[in-house]
Amino acid sequence: MSRRPLARLPEVVEFTGLPPKTIYDQVHRKTGVGALAFKVGRHLRWDWNDIDAWIARQKRGQAA
């Protein structure tokens, strides 16, 4: 099993195309990709598997 490093905010910004402020707002409101964030020490991190699953859900929701 290959492990990817946890995603940092700049990587999530680049991957999703969302501005950092939007992601921070989502973290605070526990919505969108921000709801997937968790703290490692003082830093926000994301699991790429969670992000991939979130993207897949977004795609299914738009197809409906």
**pLDDT tens per residue across span 4-39:** 899 999 999 999 999 999 999 999 999 999 999 999
CB 33 within 8 A of CB 18: yes
- Tell me the whole-structure pTM to 2 decimals: 0.87
**Is the pLDDT assigned to residue 64 strictly greater than 70?**
no
Q: Helices 48-63 and 9-16: crossing angle, nearest 10°?
A: 20
Tens digit of each residue's pLDDT (9 = 90 or more) over 51-62? 999 999 999 987
C-alpha 38/C-alpha 33 separation (Å) is: 11
C-alpha 47/C-alpha 3 separation (Å) is: 10
Select the more confidently predicted residue: 15 or 3: 15
